[in-house]
Amino acid sequence: MTHRPPPSLWSRPELRRSPLVWLAAAMLGLAAVTTVLAVVDPVPVTGANRWLKPLKFELSIALYAVTLAWLLTLLRRGRRLAATLGTAAGGLLVVEMVVILGAAALGTTSHFNVSTPAHAAAWAVMGVSISAVWLITAVVGVLLWRSPCGDAALDLAVRAGVVLGLVGMAVAFVMTSPTPAQLADVEGVAGAHTVGGVDGGPGLPLLGWSTVAGDLRVPHFVGLHALQGLPLLALGLTLLARRWPPAASVLSPTTRHRLVALAGTGWALALVMLTWQALAGQPVLAPAGPVLVVGALAAALWLAALVVVLLRARRAAADAATRDRGRAAV
């Protein structure tokens, strides 16, 4: 297969014209407005500033939209279908954002809110919208899998990122199940972010992740952003190999592929461990028992594998340099 360098972010006209890029720009503009509202109108809802949830979703949608728009430029086949699906995903995310902003403006919650028929309908619309976005992402992932760009490390990063992103998105569906306490007395709420605690309790600044109970938003966040992290790693390694001569011999295509594979494995392990930790009701900053032991062992094995890959790369670079000197001497 002929190698084709991966396109940069703005290297293609269709990317600049993409509705997804315009959606991202709109979300960033909206985020600026929401930030101001969070400062001048800090009314709490379930223990947090009511504008923080819209702000987080605006930033997340902007990042997802730019990522999806860029991924579509990697396609060789099915680009028209993927572009249509991408535009549909953007429209669905706008619907979700309208519901979230509307709930914040009303001083109530958007997620898990079934307190009135209107709130229940809005929550159902959000559920349908995000389910459709998940399906669209899966279809685009299949198209990307069948259309390699020619860079083995980037191909692996995109494929692993899409799979882990879909798993991370799917974690959100677990949150929609009513807790045992809610089944006994719904009180207008069906579903929760936290496990073993109540939504709105003590949490990390800005993120809001619970510091006293398990929180499924943690694995949701980590899995979702593999979609950006792994491709960025692959592109960063390629750029480093091209722009920094000392790294060129060490970061061979084979080594870059191995490093991306190792990063994807580590990301998957982190996603599994964080999901286990959340479902066990343990705060993200306080793993304990089997979760702590297995997590520490997995981290140690991963670091050992990283050392092996780097040592092999260094040895291969040294052997190549020796062969080059030998040929030069002849």
Q: How far is CA 60 from CA 5, 54, 92, 97, 124, in A?
A: 28, 10, 14, 11, 21
- Determine contact, residues 203/240, Cβ cutoff 8 Å: no
pLDDT (tens digit per residue) in 208-223? 898 999 999 999 999 9
d(CA 155, CA 142): 12
pLDDT at 96: 93
Which residues of the chain form beta strands (DSSP E)?
44-45, 48-49, 194-195, 214-215
Is residue 135, in this structure, part of any structural domain at all?
yes
Report the SS3 class of residue 48: strand
d(CA 298, CA 316): 27
Is residue 1, in this structure, part of any structural domain at all?
no
Per-residue pLDDT at 197 exceeds 70 = yes
d(CA 24, CA 90): 9
pLDDT at 327: 61
Q: Of the candidates 211, 201, 223, which has an alpha carbon nearest to the alpha carbon of residue 274? A: 223
Is residue 3, in this structure, part of any structural domain at all?
no
pLDDT (tens digit per residue) in 129-172? 999 999 999 999 999 998 888 889 999 999 999 999 999 999 98
Confidence of residue 92 (pLDDT cuts 50, 70, 90): very high
Per-residue pLDDT at 196 exceeds 90 = no
Cβ-Cβ contacts under 8 Å for 97 (sequence gap 6 or more): 27, 30, 54, 57, 58, 61
Is residue 7, in this structure, part of any structural domain at all?
no
What token pair was written down for 129? 């919208």
What number of H helices and E strands is found in the chain? 12, 4
What token pair was written down for 216? 């499924």
Cβ-Cβ contacts under 8 Å for 96 (sequence gap 6 or more): 57, 61, 126, 129, 130
Report the SS3 class of residue 191: coil
Q: Structurally, how many domains does the chain consist of?
A: 1
The domain in which residue 322 lies consists of 13-329
pLDDT (tens digit per residue) in 28-81? 999 999 999 999 988 888 878 889 999 999 999 999 999 999 888 888 888 889
pLDDT at 74: 87
Query: Which string of DSSP letters, residue by residue, matches 226-264?
Result: HHHHHHHHHHHHHHHHHH-HHHHTTS-HHHHHHHHHHHH
Q: What is the CA radius of gyration of the chain?
A: 23
Is residue 63, in this structure, part of any structural domain at all?
yes
Per-residue pLDDT at 234 exceeds 80 = yes
pLDDT at 41: 87
Per-residue pLDDT at 9 exceeds 60 = no
Is residue 298, in this structure, part of any structural domain at all?
yes
Higher-confidence position of 300 and 310: 300
- Determine contact, residues 249/320, Cβ cutoff 8 Å: yes
Q: Provide the percentage of residues in the chain whose pLDDT is more than 70.
A: 88
What token pair was written down for 12? 């293609």
pLDDT at 14: 65
Is residue 185, in this structure, part of any structural domain at all?
yes
In the DSSP assignment, the letter for residue 49 is E
pLDDT at 319: 64
The stretch 181-190 carries a mean pLDDT of 66
pTM for the full model?
0.87
d(CA 144, CA 72): 8
d(CA 229, CA 248): 22
d(CA 249, CA 169): 38
Is residue 53, in this structure, part of any structural domain at all?
yes
pLDDT (tens digit per residue) in 238-291? 999 888 877 777 888 899 999 999 999 999 999 999 999 999 999 999 999 999
Helix boundaries (H) for 41-116 = 52-72, 79-106
